[in-house]
Amino acid sequence: MPTTPKNLAPATAPVEKASDAMDLDPQASTSSADTQIRRASPEVRVLSKEEKIQLLTKEHILLWKRYEALRPSGATEELKVLLGLAQESQKTLQKLIPRAELEEYVRGWNPWTVKKELYPTTCKEGGGKKRSSSSQTSSSKNMLFNDPSRWKRVMRGCNTLEAAYRHMD
């Protein structure tokens, strides 16, 4: 039978008694040398309104510059995502400063109008909800009232009802 060196032999785990396997660890020392020191975290502070505006404006300007760089490549998925981020950025900034002031920083750039131009929504014919006759446009209602032959039929019906009412007595 071949012999193997001890360092290549499979390691065996020390055998514990069943009663000792579930026991708790011995009591920890009460000295302060064993306690770990908490790492110093960066100080958290609340930004003032002016600092928020400045930070968000810089972010919005960076988004605008990225848009300007990506614009020549056309309507790509990356550009669509960028415009979505710019819309969120502008929405947040408009709560703090007026839109006109914001657009001064980015030379009148508005991500909503750009997104509408590059990615127009397509209206699907026959798609969507069916409209009831009460919710039709006023122009289609006016067509019904402007038709003389229709009024003639309505008046014939009214005359018939009137004659029937007179003969009821």
Q: Is the pLDDT of residue 163 over 90?
A: yes
**Residue 112 counted as domain residue:** yes
Yes or no: say if 65 and 29 are a contact pair by the CB < 8 Å rule. no
Query: Which residues have CB under 8 Å from 114's CB, separation 6+?
Result: 67, 83
Is position 31 within any domain? no
Whole-angstrom distance, CA of residue 140 vs CA of residue 31: 89
Quick check: is 16 in a domain?
Answer: no
Residue 158 is predicted with a pLDDT of 93
- Asked, for residue 30, whether it belongs to a domain, the answer is no
pLDDT in tens, 8-62: 555 555 555 555 555 555 565 565 555 556 666 677 778 788 888 889 899 989 9
Q: How confident is the model at residue 157 (pLDDT cuts 50, 70, 90)?
A: very high
In a domain, 114, yes or no: yes
For residue 161, the model assigns a pLDDT of: 93
0.85 exceeded by pTM? no
% of the chain at pLDDT higher than 90: 12
Residue 44 located in a structural domain: no
Angle between helices 111-118 and 77-94 (to 10 degrees): 150
For residue 152, tell me if it sits in a domain: no
Confirm if 112 and 88 have CB atoms less than 8 A apart.
no
The pLDDT confidence band at residue 153, using thresholds 50, 70 and 90, is: very high
Number of domains in the chain: 1
pLDDT of residue 118: 83
Nearest Cα neighbor of 91 from 63, 119, 50 is: 63
User: Which domain, by its residues, includes 61?
Assistant: 49-118
pLDDT at 105: 82
Instruction: Decide if 86 is inside a domain.
Output: yes
Mean residue pLDDT across the chain:
76
Lowest mean pLDDT, pick from 9-23, 60-74, 83-97: 9-23
